[in-house]
């Protein structure tokens, strides 16, 4: 998964496209769909007695969007960027910014098979 929960992303396509970074709330379908904070809001009508709304009425909920409609926001270069995957010196896999080559965090523990031999 190139985009994970808690990442800052910029929506680049659709009705909610903007240049302000938003946070990813949930990742669905193995990373193909994302729930992004404040994006793709829908109204859901609920009956009285519902746990989230005991008096009933209308709830604003966030619906998932395609992962292809967002780009990761890099904190170091302050712009939307593509994400790459690479192995570090100790054999752990990390995500990195393709524009400034900054690390975006590790995604797997070190493995001796992928460690660089010196």
Tokens 């859901």: give the residue: 44
Is residue 18 pLDDT above 70, yes or no?
A: yes
The values of phi and psi at residue 101, to 5°, are 65, 20
Is residue 39 pLDDT above 70, yes or no?
A: yes
- Render pLDDT for 43-80 as a digit per residue (tens, 0 to 9): 989 888 878 778 888 889 999 999 999 999 999 999 99
Give the pLDDT confidence score for residue 79 in this predicted structure.
92
CB of 81 within 8 A of CB of 71?
yes
CB of 63 within 8 A of CB of 38?
no
Is residue 26 pLDDT above 70, yes or no?
A: yes
Give the pLDDT confidence score for residue 46 in this predicted structure.
86
CB of 6 within 8 A of CB of 24?
yes
Distances (CA, A) of 96 to 9, 17, 27, 47: 14, 23, 19, 46
Measure the CA–CA gap between 100 and 88, rounded to whole angstroms. 17
Provide the whole-model pTM.
Answer: 0.81
Give the pLDDT confidence score for residue 99 in this predicted structure.
92
Q: Which domains does the chain have, with CATH numbers?
A: 8-114 (2.30.30.30)
Give the pLDDT confidence score for residue 118 in this predicted structure.
66
Q: Tell me, what DSSP letter sits at residue 61? A: E
Is residue 8 pLDDT above 90, yes or no?
A: yes
Arithmetic mean of pLDDT over the chain? 90
């Amino acid at each position: 998964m190139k985009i994970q929960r808690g990442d800052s992303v910029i929506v680049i396509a659709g009705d909610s496209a903007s240049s302000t970074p938003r946070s990813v709330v949930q990742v669905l379908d193995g990373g193909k769909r994302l729930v992004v904070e404040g994006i793709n809001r829908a109204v859901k009508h609920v009956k009285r007695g519902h746990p989230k709304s005991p008096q009933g009425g209308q709830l604003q909920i966030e619906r998932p969007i395609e992962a292809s409609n967002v780009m990761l926001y890099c904190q170091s270069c302050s712009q939307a960027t593509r994400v790459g995957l690479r192995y570090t010196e100790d054999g752990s896999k990390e995500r990195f910014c393709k524009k400034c080559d900054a690390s975006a965090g590790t995604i797997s523990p070190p493995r001796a098979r992928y460690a660089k031999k010196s």
